[in-house]
């Protein structure tokens, strides 16, 4: 007998084990409110000021007035009209204690938990006998719909519905992209502005926003297949988050104000706001399965978080990209943006 052959006579496909995804879903935890105050050490800044007035020129010698004066940030007052936060990365800090005891299925802790390339892998091989039920066995540990301890679950998750729980104690480390729109007035003129701030990860250092919060993630009706050929399914999951700002206020950092007549250079800005973070979990249940391959690729969306620059004139990533001539940093005609 040729040991390299298989019993699938007449087939031209190759037999191969692949990780089959049996379940793929996303769940959210409760929002967390974090008091955010930015600093120039922890955030890069890019301020773009419009070349035209937001309203009437309030002086006899302002921009677009008779004497074409420079617009400066002396005594500037910022009014925020819109803000957007993109959480480019949400991960547990090195100080966080997150172990297999914190991840359960139907109340049973997973066998082991490892972290690889930003993703957690939970082994279920040691609890498969507790998760696998014989046909006709009453549902006693499966939380789906309104089923009770001795009643059958709803048909959509009967026999396959398992309850996943991850208890995450934190703290979290977040990396943010913040875009703020509004108008700025200096007592003589008003201008539209856009401020882009990004958590600093450059030669100056790595400064994530550390949020000390505890979050629980629960998913019901999770489909977990049986063990096959001695191979048990496993869980793999990662965390992400979405964010928003409440009551954002912009002020000039007094430690970076530029002395001299007419404020010859802009100062760094400080953002104070309540940052509302909603952590999320992306959960998959996978198991190596034997396939006879003749496949086509499944199209998936690119994950380009943090790669779009809302302040770049040519950016088309945002919902409202800035046209090339919409904003120009103003000393009346200067087209270079203020960067800090």
Per-residue pLDDT at 279 exceeds 50: yes
pLDDT at 333: 29
* Residues 30, 324: Cα–Cα separation, whole Å: 40
Structure tokens at 199: 């958590």
Give me the phi and psi of 102, to 5 degrees please: -90, -5
Q: Is 304 exposed, middle or buried (0-12, 13-18, 19+ CB in 10 A)?
A: exposed
Q: Contact, 318 vs 178, CB < 8 A? A: no
56: confidence class by pLDDT, cuts 50, 70, 90: very low
**pTM given for the model:** 0.75
Q: What digits encode the pLDDT tens for the residues 139-194?
A: 555 444 444 444 444 545 555 579 999 999 999 999 999 999 999 988 878 888 99
């Amino acid at each position: 007998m040729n040991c390299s052959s298989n019993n699938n006579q007449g087939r031209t496909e190759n037999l191969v084990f692949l990780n089959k995804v049996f379940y793929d879903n996303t769940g959210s935890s409760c929002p967390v409110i974090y008091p955010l105050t930015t600093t120039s050490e922890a955030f890069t800044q890019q301020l773009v000021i419009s070349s035209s007035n937001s309203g009437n020129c309030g002086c006899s010698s302002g921009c677009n007035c008779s004497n074409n004066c420079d617009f400066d940030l002396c005594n500037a007052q910022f009014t925020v009209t819109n803000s957007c936060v993109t959480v480019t990365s949400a991960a547990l800090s090195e100080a966080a204690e997150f172990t297999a005891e914190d991840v359960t299925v139907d109340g049973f802790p997973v066998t082991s938990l490892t972290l690889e390339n930003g993703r957690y892998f939970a082994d279920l091989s040691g609890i498969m006998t507790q998760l696998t039920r014989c046909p006709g066995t009453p549902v006693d540990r499966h939380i789906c719909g309104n089923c009770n301890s001795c009643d059958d679950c709803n048909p959509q998750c009967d026999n396959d519905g398992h309850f996943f729980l991850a208890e995450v104690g934190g703290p979290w480390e977040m990396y943010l992209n913040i875009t703020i729109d509004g108008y700025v007035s200096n007592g003589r003129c008003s201008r539209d502005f856009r401020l882009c701030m990004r958590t600093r990860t450059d030669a100056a250092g790595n400064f994530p926003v550390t949020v000390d919060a505890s979050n629980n993630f629960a998913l019901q009706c999770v489909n977990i297949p049986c063990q096959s050929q001695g191979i048990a399914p496993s869980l793999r999951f990662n965390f992400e988050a979405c964010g928003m700002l409440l009551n954002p206020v912009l002020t000039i950092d007094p430690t970076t104000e530029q002395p001299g007549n007419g404020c010859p250079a802009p100062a760094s800005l400080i953002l104070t706001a309540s940052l509302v973070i909603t952590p999320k979990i992306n959960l998959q249940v996978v198991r190596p399965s034997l396939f006879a391959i003749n496949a086509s690729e499944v199209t998936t969306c690119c994950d380009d978080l943090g790669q779009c620059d809302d302040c770049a004139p040519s950016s088309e990533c945002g919902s409202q990209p800035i046209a090339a001539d919409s904003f120009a940093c103003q000393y009346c005609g200067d087209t270079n943006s203020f960067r800090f």
